[in-house]
Structure 1
Amino acid sequence: MNINQLSSCFCTKNISACRDFYQKYLGAKITFDCGWYLNMDIGTQGVSIQFMAPQGDMPTYSGAGVTLNFAVDDVDAEHRRLMEAGLSEVMPLEDHPWGDRGFSVIDPIGNSVYIYSDREPSEEFKQYFKD
């Protein structure tokens, strides 16, 4: 299988709150919005996220168990910017032995949004990286 792109689509009744959150805090750009379906690009590497209103008997997303990972150049600057903008962290900014420095906030539908920058992993974790 040759996969050309992967993106996440969340079925929710809170499309406008998600639109506002990702535009305001993560600089998302709307590429399609018909009211019940929203596509936004985030960053410059072809990353996109979608939200859609439930159609028929389609269940809505509950917000449990999903973490969206966003790699950035300067996690300290992003942390400062987002905290000053009024977001609250649910995981504090800290270095992690597996090879990053990051923190988490929660989006309007309960996704954990993990923002991080790569760091050198500790000796303990270096063995798990594959070439």
Structure 2
Amino acid sequence: MQPTLLSPCIITTKVAESRDFYIKHFAAKVTFDCGWYVNLEFGNNASLQFMAPQPDQAACNPVGLTYNFRVSEIDAEYDQLISSGLVATMPLEDHPWGDRGFAVQDPNGIVLYIYADREPSPEFKPYFKS
């Protein structure tokens, strides 16, 4: 199989809250919204969907789920998100594996790791594959 797009759909009782969060903090564009299902686009083939539980369907338990958002200006993104009222669940810092990043959480408890690439330290360089 060669998928042309891969996008997660979170089953949640917080569809509207999730939609509003991603619009406000991540400039998501709503491309479909029927109330119980919403599709959010972020550009560059990045999207998320949120759907209310259907009969005999449980809501997602997002414990342990992390979405990674790579950005070009990590310090500016950090300043913007923190000044908008979000709380960092992981501080902004450089990591030896080759990024600078921080984390926040969405209304469902999903960890959002926001990072920018940087040069990895020598001990991590051998792990990168071309």
Normalized against structure 1, the TM-score is what? 0.97
For each residue in 1:53-89, what CA deviation from the matched residue of structure 2 results, as whole angstroms up to 9, or x when unmatched?
A: 0111101011201000000010000000011111000
Report the alpha carbon displacement of residue 2 of structure 1 after superposing the two structures with TM.
Answer: 1.2
For each residue in 1:31-66, what CA deviation from the matched residue of structure 2 results, as whole angstroms up to 9, or x when unmatched?
A: 000111100001x21100000001111010112010
Give the corresponding residue for 1:25. 25
Give the corresponding residue for 2:3. 3
Q: Which runs of 4+ in 1 moved over 2 A?
A: none
Give the corresponding residue for 1:36. 36
Give the alignment of 1:82-93 within 5 angstroms: 82-93=81-92
Give the corresponding residue for 2:64. 65
> What amino acid does structure 2 have at the position aligned with 1:78?
E
Structure 2: segments with no counterpart, 5+ residues: none
Structure 1: segments with no counterpart, 5+ residues: none
SS for the counterpart of 1:121 is coil
Normalized against structure 2, the TM-score is what? 0.98
Report the alpha carbon displacement of residue 105 of structure 1 after superposing the two structures with TM.
Answer: 0.2
Q: CA RMSD in A?
A: 0.6
Give the corresponding residue for 1:81. 80
Give the corresponding residue for 1:122. 121
